Chains A and B, each alone.
Chain A
């Protein structure tokens, strides 16, 4: 809502920063039909995430989850990628900026470089480390999947440039390459420059820099990483020995007032430390030989399902957690270990413990160059030098037309970055017109080779996926065994199959050997099938002639304790895939027009924000609300933690939404039925007290049904007037300040009805509500005693400032253990509360006028279940909607065309809900930008000659698609078929086949798997 009059004279968006956030923004914009210039100051895109070994909460290898995105961004024609490039200056205003870009010399011609690596091999002596551990040649690629796939040279380190140039057979090395300047007209800017990781060498107590076995968490990631300096071996940098005891120290450089440190919380460190400890235990700790200990102040695991992750770390992985903040590490020359001295609540006396390695969980910081960038752009920064944004406009910078996402907005983890990236794309897209469609250009693709009549020639390509596959099974044996499978003409190992290098290799082999079928042995087809389909299509083969064998998710990841059996199983899976693909036919996709209307379910702050974003872009939006009015839970909130007037914001938003010409608000409506597929959905509503029925045709659906304020039956809630929830208290403070003035004491209890066996997750919003209300009480009535009884104070990012402020104002924070909860009794007009104060080390009994319970949110079970059933959307165990990918696709739901926003996903603040709502709108827009949808080729096909017109398919089809046509046999129209195959399974004449899952293909898999099984036994 930054600006109303939008000029669209320029047609491009500039995205600054090629990390995950920038890449997501660029891809979303490109998919939404906008031209993008993506600039990155480094020599390849990928950012911090590509340096990580694995990511929480799935503990996946990052490279395989992100590399399809990297390759995607390299492939997209509407994204102009400029590496080693930075902004020099910016002129003009939103919709009509001119930006001057400066590109540093790479000394390599990207057009000519084939990334053969000759230059790197010829000059291995000049090495450098990034970050701190990684061997680097002067010409270097950052990681195997680098985009662009070319090297770059650090000319300063090169003693003999002429010699280096001679090494290159492609003559790609340009010794006298020079900086270049370029002016570009753009409509909007998205800043995703990331941040830097805190350098702990300024803290002398930790011996970082002097003790090689004290490493940062990012360096530890590199040690774990298969593409890192130790090739995935966990060894100490000092002596190459395997460590037995590893400690993590949290909040290094964060939550600290020390010189050079940041007062805010870096948000992601708790989770990545847990992840590193879990991965260490899982991958390197045979027979529990490695002990992992995390020293922490508060465990801040408040995003969706992170609390469960914390529980897994403790219970399933035996990660030891010690609540303490050690300030010193001493090397012990006798034991060659590192001693940490620390104190805990249990005893004031310092304890000392020795470790082989210490990992410093370093947080994020804005580097000077970004402060300079902000100056050049004319955007305001907050007191911590991060970009300043509004509480209700989370990705808008202070200058119209400039948006931010990711770490530069505030410290955060990847899912939140992805949310902001899509939100920023959504906002930026409004400033530029959609480019003229260069009609899905089939000329771009090479002609498809007609393989009918050819004997099958199968190529088998097996990924080792770094450690993930190759670390468990003997990939070479699997490759060798595949050569003996009938019709296999080539079999090889391809490292990371999804890397650009491997994809090119696969394409080359297809052409060289004239392959007409491909088997990929790697990860799950659920995530990577389209990538390989595109690859073989680009190599001139119909995309349905590839089959994936899931060697990772369904073999090496689950049978790591039995490598031999896993290897055997891998061979069988490859045989099965080959058996199936041998019988595969070239298929054509079924393509249909897209309905561009939007259905948004839920009229709370998230639903309204999504509706508004899309309506502003010209899409017709149907906004349905179950109750009689718009507003949701946010309508009952008066102030946010920043002190803004939430009521005013909500009233304005409701007003704009209700009057928007593109939005039709349908209150009092519930969803009763649903059919169709993305691009052509049809949803039935029952509306108003008369419950009249109305069907809405739409192309996408945004689910923003919110959550319910929890009111558990605990601590006399509902039984005693002095006991209220934080939501109630917010209203009391706003409407009855005199009452607040009359209070002598107030107590607040955290985690009521959350982080409990019944509701194991964290409600995320309660700690900030508590801090907000505590500060407001102290402001109105400075003499009041305010006690906050908590388990972990979870105030990530800049919320930490408010937590510090509350403490400075005299709010008393006392931690309680889950097995020693506070005791609450009614006493007169108030409440008697008894608790143990670990700082004082004794029991405290206090009379309070008001007891506020931090009860958080719970999913609306009935609603979520009902909607989940109607839409076939999966839910988490606590009944929130489950997104497509918890890391990289946080607002996409698993059913194409469905997106989620707000607390329907997990408990969220208003600000987070708006960001997610804009992200959902942004993602929806990428879908709506298409004119046609591709239904793929998995549809049922009837052989009219065999059909007995028995009607069994007509009756069996869950969607009523088949009918007996004028020719007297069953007909199944491709545009209606959902591709389930029930008809094919029930047809008594075996006249129906489901394409891609034909009976002979399934039988071939059975045969391949069971080949020789009878004889073996005999």
Chain B
């Protein structure tokens, strides 16, 4: 597993996390290119199915990034997203995949630093965990 470059999907809400990502850009804060952002209007829009699909198609880690607690532009989308993420964690554990591959983060629009920090730390965590086990199995099968 040398040279393992994890694929990370970050579902970001428009008002906070996506804006924070842009902010990280304007501040030129670097973070690993492994992180690919998919924009949604609210973290509450991210369906559990989207998270599962990303993992099933080969992502090594997935996170949902929404507004800070109590600051959701749509009142409570972020708390619903957090609930879904913890549900998915349990479902993953049930099929023997580490729940830590999925996380929920919150940040405000101005937190470019936090965006970069979360992206870096999550990528490093997944890098340490190694590839998504479904890929490992696929490789072993060859």
Contact = CB atoms under 8 A, between A and B. Distances in A.
A874 B18 CA distance: 14
Contacts of B15: 872, 894
Contacts of A560: 28, 30
B28 A958 contact: no
A985 interface: yes
A1017 B116 contact: no
A1010 B31 contact: no
B24 interface: yes
B71 A982 contact: no
Nearest to A305: B110
A827 B19 CA distance: 54
B135 interface: yes
Contact of B58 (A894, A978, A1014): A1014
Nearest to A958: B75
Interface string A156-188: 000000000000000000000000000000000
Nearest to A1014: B58
B40 A1002 contact: yes
A583 to B, nearest CB: 14
A1003 B38 CA distance: 10
Contacts of B138: 1014, 1017-1018
A316 to B, nearest CB: 9
Interface string B41-76: 110111111100110011100000000001111111
A882 B41 contact: no
A550 B108 CA distance: 19
A982 B26 contact: no
A1018 B40 CA distance: 31
Given A1003-B53, A1010-B59, A1017-B138, A562 B33 contact: yes
A202 interface: no
Interface in A378-425: none
Contacts of A882: 109-110
A980 B84 CA distance: 16
A980 B47 CA distance: 12
Given A558-B30, A1006-B50, A997 B40 contact: yes
* Interface hub of B19, B26, B50, B135 (most chain A Cβ within 10 A): B26
B25 interface: yes
A872 B28 contact: no
Contacts of A1017: 58, 131, 135-136, 138-139
B7 interface: yes
A1014 B57 contact: yes
Contacts of A874: 16, 71, 108-110
Contacts of A863: none
B58 A576 contact: no
Q: How large is the interface on A (under 10, 10 to 19, 20 to 34, 35 or more residues)?
A: 35 or more
Contacts of A981: 40-42, 44-45, 77
6 contacts: A557-B26, A984-B45, A985-B45, A985-B46, A999-B49, A1017-B131
Contacts of B19: 526, 894
Contacts of B117: none
Given A526-B22, A569-B36, A1002-B38, A994 B45 contact: yes
A526 B46 CA distance: 19
B37 interface: yes
B95 interface: no
B102 interface: no
Contacts of B72: 872, 958
A524 B25 CA distance: 10
A572 B36 contact: yes
Contacts of A869: 70-71
A552 B21 CA distance: 11
A59 interface: yes
Contacts of A555: 33
A438 B129 CA distance: 63
A588 interface: no
| The 6 residue pairs across chains A and B that have the minimum distance between CB atoms | A1013-B58, A981-B45, A553-B25, A980-B74, A958-B75, A557-B25
A877 B53 contact: no
Given A997-B41, A1014-B138, A558 B71 contact: no
Interface string A57-89: 011100000000000000000000000000000
Tell which of B14, B25, B49 has the most Cβ of chain A within 10 Å: B25
A60 B50 CA distance: 34
Contacts of B135: 1013-1014, 1017-1018
B29 interface: yes
A882 B110 CA distance: 8
Given A569-B33, A875-B108, 4 more contacts: A60-B26, A526-B18, A1018-B138, A1018-B141
Contact of B109 (A553, A894, A1002): A894
Contact of A1006 (B18, B22, B54, B139): B54
A915 B106 CA distance: 36
Contact of B33 (A559, A877, A1005, A1014): A559
B57 A986 contact: no
A561 B41 contact: no
Contacts of B16: 874
A566 B33 contact: yes
B63 to A, nearest CB: 14
A958 B54 contact: no
